[in-house]
Structure 1
Amino acid sequence: MNNSLNDARDEIRRVDKEMAALFEKRMEAAKKVAEYKKEHGLPIYDAKQEESVLERNSALIEGPALKVYYKDFIKNMMNISKQYQHALTDGVKIAINGEEGAFAHVAAKRIFKGAEAVFYKSFAEAYEAVEKGECESAVIPIENSYAGEVGQVMDIMFQGDLYVSGMYTLPISQNLLSLPGAKLSDIKEVISHPQALAQCGEYIKEHGFKTAAFTSTAAAAHEVAKRNDRTVAAIANKETADIYGLAVLDHDINESALNTTKFAVFSRKENKERGKMFVLMFTVNDAAGTLAKAISVISSHGFNMKALRSRPVKDAAWQYYFYVEAEGDDSSDKGREMLGELSKVCEKLKVVGRYGAEIDLGNGK
C-alpha cells in the first residue's frame, strides 16, 4: 500500500515537472498575445475567444467525471493568463477627447482596464497623439444613434493613417447631477453639452429649467462641483457624479432609452487577424453610375454593408468620399478579389480596419 502511494506521488511529481515546463511555454505565448494586443489596440479580455478555448479544451477530456474539473482548470489558467497580460500592459496610454468622466473615458475604462487615460481637447489631437506615438491607442466616438455620425471624426479617418481595431457600443443614460443635499425643487438652471440638453428636452421643459451649453457633459459636471451652487445641476453620466463628488438627483432623464454611442479604437498597427467586420473608405470619379458600380462590387462578392456614409472632400468642391462598414473577412480569397475589383472602380481606396463583431459595453448610467 505504501509503495503504491509513493509510486502515485512520484507520478504526480513527474507530471508536475512537465506541467511547470508547459506552464512557462503557455505564459510565453500569453506574453506574445499581450504584446500583439497592446500594439494593435485590442483589449485583453475577449469573451468569445474564451468560450472557444473552453469548448475546445473540454472536448479533449473523454471521461465525464473529469470534464467539469478540467473546465475549471482551464478557466483558472485563463484567469492567470489575463492577470499576467494585464501586468504587462498596465500603464498603456489611451488618448481620449474631453476630460475625466466623459463618455469616451467611460468607454475607454471598460475596454482597456488598467490603462492610463490621456485627455486631449479635440478629436484631432487625440488621433494625432497615437500617430505621433504619444499613446498606444485612441478611443473616439464615431456615431450616435440619436444624432448620427460624427462627421469630424470621419474626416480625420479619411485623411489619417491609423487603423480601426475594434468597435464598441455604449448605451447612454443621462442623469441629473447636483451638489449633495440639493433637492429637485432647488434647481433653476441645467448645464450640459448641447446634444445632452436636446436629448433631455422634454424633461427640461417639464421642470422649467433654464439651460446653458458646455463643451461636454463632464465639463458641465465639473462646473457644478466648482460653483458650489445648489440651484445649478448638470446632465451627465452617473460615473461623472462619482468623480466630481456630485449626487444623482434624477436617473434616466433622456427621452430615448435606445440612445447609444459607437466608439472606435484606433491604433498605428493594422489588425492582421481574420475579422468579422471591416471598414472601407473610398472616392469615385464624377461619372454616372460609378458609385453604383462600387457598391455592386462589394455586394456581388457576398459582403453585407451595415453602414454607408458620404462626406464632402475638403478642398475639393462637390467631391465626396464614402465610408462603408461591411460584414465579412476582407482578407479571405473573395475579400482580396473584391478589393482588387474595387480598386479599378475607385479613385482612392483604403481599408481603414478590421475587427470582430461590435461589443456592447453595457449600461452607461
Structure 2
Amino acid sequence: MTAKIAFQGELGAYSHQACHESRPDHAALPCATFEDAIEAVRNGSADLAMLPVENSTYGRVADMHSLLPHSGLHIIEEAFVRVHINVLAVPGTTLEQVRIAQSHTVLLGQCREFLQTHGIRPRVGADTAGSAQQIAALGDPSQAALASEMAGEIYGLEVLARHIEDHDRNTTRFLIMSRDPARPAPGSGPIKTTFVFRVRNIPAALYKAMGGFATNGVNMTKLESYMVDGKFTATQFYADIEGHPEDPPVARALEELGYFTDTLDIMGVYPADPEHFDGGTI
C-alpha cells in the first residue's frame, strides 16, 4: 500500500508542492483544514502531515504554533519551498483584462507591489489551489488566481505573469509530522530541536531561562510567544534551537531552562535542512 502524506488545501497548493518535492513516493492527501491534516495522521488515514509554519515575507502561519503542541504528533523533518507566485487565468485572457486576483490571504500579502502596479484588486480565497479551481470554474477573464504553476496545470489555467512575489527569496518553511518520533543520532549532522515551554511566574523568568543557551553557546533560531486559551496571563513560548538534546551544551541549556519553566515539551528532534542551517551562536 502506498504511503500517504496529508496537507491543507486542494491539489496544486504550495503544500502539495512541498509534499511532491520532499516525499515523491507518498500519495498526497488534500485536507480542508490544518486540523483535518493533523487528524488524518492521528487516525491512520495518512502516514505523515506537511504543515507550513512560516514564510520569509509574511511571517508565521496563523494558529499553527498553537495547533502543533496539542497535535500529539512529532516533527521528523523540515522542508523549504521557494514560493513562486503566478497570475493564472482562463485560456485566452490577457493581463490587462484582469481586475481581481484571488488567493489565500498569506499569498496576497506577498505580492502587493505587483497588484498595485497593475491596478488589480486582491480578494481573499480559502487557499491558493482552491482559488485556481474556482477561477477555472467561473471562466471570467476579469478574474484571476494567484497560485503555483502546478495549480495552473491541474485546473487548465494559463500563466499570465510568472514569479510576481515582492521578494526574490520568498520561501515557506514546512514541518513534516509523524505519529512516532524519528530522532537522528547525536553527531549525525546538523540537527534542530523544537520545543514549547511556559515560564514560571517569577521575576525575570524568561531572561533567566534564556541565559543557559547563551552561556552554553547554543544557537536559538526562533523564539515566539502566544497566549494560551485567550488569557493575557498565560503565555507559551515556541522555540527552535540548533543541536541535539543529547549534545552536552544543549543538555545543560535545557536543564537550566527547566528550573524556570512550569512545562517543557520537546516536539521534535530532526535533521536541519543543509541549505538553511545557520551554524552560528547567539
TM-score under structure 2 length normalisation: 0.90
Q: Does 1:269 align with 2:180?
A: yes
Paired with 1:359 and 1:128, the residues of 2 have a C-alpha distance of: 30
Q: CA deviation at 1:245?
A: 1.2
Distance in structure 2 (CA, Å) of the matches to 1:304 and 1:334: 10
Match of 1:43 in 2: none
Question: For residue 171 of structure 1, what is the aligned residue in structure 2?
Answer: 82
1:246-268 deviation line (CA, Å, top 9, x unaligned): 11111111211121111001111
Q: What are the ranges of 5 or more consecutive residues in structure 2 without an aligned counterpart?
A: 277-282
- Summarize the Cα distance change of 1:204–1:349 in structure 2 as closer, same or farther, 3 Å threshold: same
Query: What residue is the counterpart of 1:158 in the other structure?
Result: 69
Cα pair 2:218 2:249 within 8 Å, conserved: no
For residues 195-234 of structure 1, what are the structure 2 equivalents within 5 Å?
Answer: 195-234=106-145
Given that residues 212 and 252 in structure 2 are in contact (C-alpha distance below 8 angstroms), is that contact kept between their aligned partners in structure 1? Answer: no
Partner of 2:52: 141
- Give 1:188 shift: 2.6
Give the aligned residue type for 2:20.
K
Residue 269 of structure 2 aligns with an amino acid whose one-letter code is R
Equivalent runs, 1:236-251 vs 2, <5 Å:
236-251=147-162
Q: How many Å apart are 1:197 and its aligned residue?
A: 2.3
CA-based RMSD of the aligned residues comes to 1.9
Closer/same/farther in 2, CA of residues 356 and 231 from structure 1, 3 Å limit: same
Query: What's the counterpart of residue 26 of structure 1?
Result: none
Q: How many residues align?
A: 272
Structure 2 distance, partners of 1:227, 1:104, is: 24
User: How far apart are the structure 1 equivalents of 2:165 and 2:230?
Assistant: 38
1:11-160 equivalence runs, <5 A? 91-160=2-71
- The higher radius of gyration belongs to 1
What amino acid does structure 2 have at the position aligned with 1:345? F
Any conservation in 2 of the 1:97–1:120 contact (CA below 8 Å)? yes
1:166 Cα offset (Å): 0.9
**Residue 320 (structure 1) aligned with residue 235 (structure 2):** yes
Greater helix percent: which structure?
1
Query: What is the aligned partner in structure 1 of residue 203 from structure 2?
Result: 288
Q: Which has the higher strand share?
A: 2
Aligned to 2:258: 343
Looking at structure 2, the residues matched to 322 and 303 of structure 1 have their Cα atoms a distance apart, in angstroms, of 17
Counterpart residue number, 2:280: none
Alpha-carbon offset, residue 146 of structure 1: 1.4
Q: CA deviation at 1:98?
A: 0.9
Q: What letter matches 2:128 in structure 1?
A: T
Distance in 2, matches of 1:211 and 1:261, equals: 21
- Structure 2 residue aligned with 1:182: 93
Deviates more, 1:350-359 or 1:303-312: 350-359
How far, CA to CA, are the matches of 1:286 and 1:117 in structure 2? 44
* Shift in Å, 1:213: 1.6
Change (3 A) 1:341 1:197: closer
**C-alpha distance in 1 between matches for 2:121 and 2:253:** 54
Higher RCO (Cα < 8 Å, 6 or more apart): 2
Kept in 2, the 8 Å contact 1:151–1:311? The answer is no
State the TM-score, normalizing by the size of structure 1.
0.70
1:357 matched to 2:268: no
In the TM superposition, residue 133 of structure 1 has moved relative to its aligned partner by 2.2
Task: Give unmatched runs, 5+ long, in structure 1.
Answer: 1-89
Identity of aligned residues (%): 29
Q: In 1, are the aligned partners of 2:184 and 2:271 still within 8 Å (CA)? A: no
Q: Hey, what's the Cα distance between the residues in 1 that align with 2:117 and 2:103? A: 17
